[in-house]
Structure 1
Amino acid sequence: MPDHEQRSSYPRRTVLRALTIVSVGAGLVSTGATHAAVARDLRAGMSGADVRELQIRVAGWASDGSRQAFLDVSGYFDAPTEAAVRRFQQAHGLPASGVVDQATHGRLSAMATADGSTAHFEWSQFASPDGSGFAGGTVDEATVRENVRRLMYKLEALRHKLDGRETEVRDGFHSSDHRARLRGPDDSTHTYGGTADIAVASLTTYAVYQAAQSCGFSGLGSYVQSWLHCDSRAEYSHRAPAAWSWHNGVI
């Protein structure tokens, strides 16, 4: 992920947008630039890397209720993207125009940190418990990291919908070796990176499950335990298409 040394290597006269995109491994990540220059307004019908990054950041606003839907990160500003932007804007006290103006860019940029993680979630929370970091999974490390990064933004949306309550990540990525020691399935979503088992302060798992149903998760575990399993299995382009798995169904 980009560090401060890499960021300082940009020419002083370079104009950086609020959602400046740079290539990192298999995916894209924002530098979280804070320069005075502004990003272009984004609206329906546009396309590009900045639209793709926008879709990653508003993916947790894929639905306005309990519906099995996720936002396709295609780089094209389609109707579902516009609807997700409107929900994000409304939730953050902005005019729900569906156009990503400078105020909306500011809110989106505020969610990102310099190392590519998000405001309320850190890479270390998702690393494999056996000390292998993000290596040794079903897919390469860069892909795992990108899956984790995208998951963070969905969790940011979930956290916001739960009134900003502290969200504990109890489990994230598992290396294949760690998964074998647990005697779990080899093709577990934990070995792809886009998975977390979470618990939210002062809330039942059932309450978290209800809110998570609007956040674009294609895998939700049982709410009769002390944590909630969340994953994005239907979005893994590097995996055979997986059926949605909401353990207890739509509430």
Structure 2
Amino acid sequence: MASSFRSVDRRTVLRGTLAAGAGIAFGPLLFRGTAQAYAWSRTLTQGDSGADVTELQIRVAGWAADSAGHSRVGIDGDFGPGTAAAVRRFQTAYGLAADGSVGPLTQGKLNALEQSDGSTAHFDWSEFADRSSGTFDGGKLSVSAVKENVRRCMYKLEALRKKLGDKPITVNSGFRSIAHNADIGGAADSMHLYGTAADLDVPGVANKTVYQKAETCGFSGLETYSTDHQHVDSRADLGRDWWWEDGTI
């Protein structure tokens, strides 16, 4: 369960300061200081497999369902029915023909959500860094593994943001080091230690609404909406059981 600890939003203060150190490989991507959109080499359709399908699944994982349910897009490199359904939802949301085929127009929309340093259009690495050290070190996984989990979380949050009517989302707490998590009284095996969790504030939107929309975004961990923030995480991606504290609402 996430701590109720909140921190001053540091998006403005830290925007871009971590990007210079983000030149590490995440699967098929290599993040550098210049724009480098993902190099889709083919149109993807149901039945395809490969590293490009894995990247597609990461980017549409937030479009896992139309309604609340324990649904998630498997990140397995196999373009099955679940991936196709998520693609169609993404296409509909972005005004594309919802045919489930990932060609140049859909690929262009997917790449438009990518910043040159590997973060996403509306979320920066600085927002997810440990609030004590400003890094992604000292957690339960390696720095590269933590940052990959953070990247995957960003894409789900892009979907959540879209479903909330493009309302800006503030990330109050993302990754936490073991030391910092202990200092603020976080759970011993908090999902924040793996980079797969975020505590959110959406000004002007009730936490209950955020919770309800998050139920369709593939988040397998949701803390109660009755606190001063909304916690979301992807614990099922780590092989953990689903946990929605308020159940399905």
Query: TM-score, normalised on structure 1?
Result: 0.86
Task: Quickly say closer, same or farther: Cα 1:154–1:90, change in 2 above 3 A.
Answer: same
Q: How many Å apart are 1:33 and its aligned residue?
A: 3.6
Question: Which residue of structure 2 aligns with residue 122 of structure 1?
Answer: 124
Corresponding position of 1:45: 47
| 2:111 corresponding residue in structure 1 | 109
Paired residue secondary structure (1:170): strand
Alpha-carbon shift at residue 72 of structure 1 (Å):
0.7
1:19 matched to which residue of 2? none
Quote the residue 1:56 is aligned against.
58
Residues in 2 aligned to 1:214 and 1:38: alpha-carbon distance in whole angstroms: 27
Q: Is the 8 A contact 2:46 2:84 kept in 1?
A: yes
Deviations 1:175-234 (A, max 9, x none): 001111123222111100010000112100001111110000000011112210000001
Structure 2 gap segments, 5+ residues each: 1-17
- 1:79-118 equivalent positions in 2, closer than 5 A: 79-118=81-120
- Could you tell me which amino acid in structure 2 is paired with residue 135 of structure 1? D
Question: Aligned residue for 2:248?
Answer: 250
* 8 A contact 1:2–1:114 mirrored in 2: no
Shift in CA distance, 146/28, structure 1 to aligned 2, threshold 3 Å: farther
- Tell me the distance in 1 between the aligned counterparts of 2:28 and 2:37: 18
Output the TM-score relative to the length of structure 2. 0.86
Q: Which residue does the alignment assign to 2:159?
A: 157
List structure 1 runs of 4+ shifted beyond 6 angstroms. none
Structure 1 residues 2 and 40: CA distance shift in structure 2, 3 A: farther
Query: In 2, are the aligned partners of 1:30 and 1:112 still within 8 Å (CA)?
Result: no
Q: Is the 8 A contact 1:39 1:105 kept in 2?
A: no
What do the CA deviations read for 1:105-153 (whole angstroms, capped 9, x no partner)? 0000000011110000000000001115100001111110000000000
Change (3 A) 1:116 1:226: same
- 2:204 equivalent in structure 1: 202
CA shift, 1:30, in A, is: 6.3
The answer (yes or no) to whether the contact 1:132–1:175 under 8 Å persists in 2 is no
Distance in structure 2 (CA, Å) of the matches to 1:2 and 1:42: 30
> What letter is aligned with 1:199?
D
Q: Aligned to 2:201, what secondary structure does the other structure show?
A: strand
Query: Is structure 2 residue 29 aligned with structure 1 residue 29?
Result: yes
Letter in 2 for 1:29: L
Query: Quick one: higher RCO (CA 8 Å, sep 6+), 1 or 2?
Result: 2
SS at match of 2:116: coil
Kept in 2, the 8 Å contact 1:126–1:169? The answer is yes
Structure 1 residue 76 displacement after superposition: 0.9
User: Could you say which residue in structure 2 is the equivalent of 1:67?
Assistant: 69
Whole-Å separation in 1 of the counterparts to 2:144 and 2:245: 29
Q: Is the 8 A contact 2:40 2:52 kept in 1?
A: no
Amino acid in the other structure paired with 2:241 = A
Cα drift, residue 242 of structure 1? 1.5
Higher-Rg structure is 1
1:207-218 paired onto structure 2 within 5 Å: 207-218=209-220
Return the letter of the residue paired with 2:82.
Answer: P
| Aligned residue type for 1:65 | S
CA distance in 2, matches of 1:221, 1:106: 34
